[in-house]
Structure 1
């Protein structure tokens, strides 16, 4: 898989409140980029800008025109329908015949270990199963880039491991991952690059070994405190 996306001088405001300020960021195909920082630092907003859900007030967003992307939210929405229908609908909306969409949806559910739950009402699934359902919906679209917003927040340890395994498998296939996380262990396990944010700005953008190996320098003092658990 391939695809790239680049932000140049991106600012975004929620009314008078700045959410992103002067973001310069380029993500290349095959990278595994973790966005970290305290609550409210702009991680979720940045993901939504990358996905095209939010339009910046200033700056530009450039991307490979041939690139396909998908996003998994922290609290995925499920239709009051079977797990199979929840996945197939996205494919049908992309122009697939319904019969073909259902066949591909069943493959996607099998890919995330939910093949046996295909006819179950999606709203009766556990939190971990619902997150894997969201990942099946995303994987079924065969994206080059997968954006994930706190994909394992509020999940029990077993469910977290299942989601992390899927993320690692997707990355191994060549898919680009950009994910927000508060779990620094998860970041160390899955990321190749760490972007630390504070008050809507990127204060550090480093390979994962360098970020956690420190020191990060005077301009990244906040990042060092965050890693030490003194900010959060």
Structure 2
């Protein structure tokens, strides 16, 4: 099955400094039919105004992946980590037994991110944070694993979940296939550009939930940038 949820239908709220759209139930948005997809619990599409951001707050027992679409995000946490992650790059925070962090847009323009939360497959471990650049040229016409808890994905940022977060870039007219193993859940969002997926049109920032499909054929109708989560 393939289920397309349009960007216009997403829940969310505009707080002035933050314009947040939620693919799944989050904060004041609650839809009992959209509580997650397999191990994927949250996919937020956030636009953060310049000079603002999320002040220090706690998390535990969650894998939090931030994919920066435009601008940059500046991270600080209670472990003493500090870092700036730019557009196209990724940061991962394994909240573990507990961590406090802040995420700020210190840039002159708006920052746009996907924030993805995946349920961990083990607990009781110390928190951790990391970031890594992923040049878009390396993803041209193919998927690159950005974050993973699956053995063999040594170039990806580590997460404590039986899941992968992948990214790809396609030129208009290019196609890419993806096979999802039996029993797993896939969720794909184009950060930019329109796609056709197994004959269904998907616009930028729409969400595509899929499972029990032998393969996806993804065709770019425009130059496109996409992010995909493959989880149990």
Higher share in helix: 1
Give the alignment's TM-score, normalised by structure 2.
0.29
Give the alignment's TM-score, normalised by structure 1.
0.29
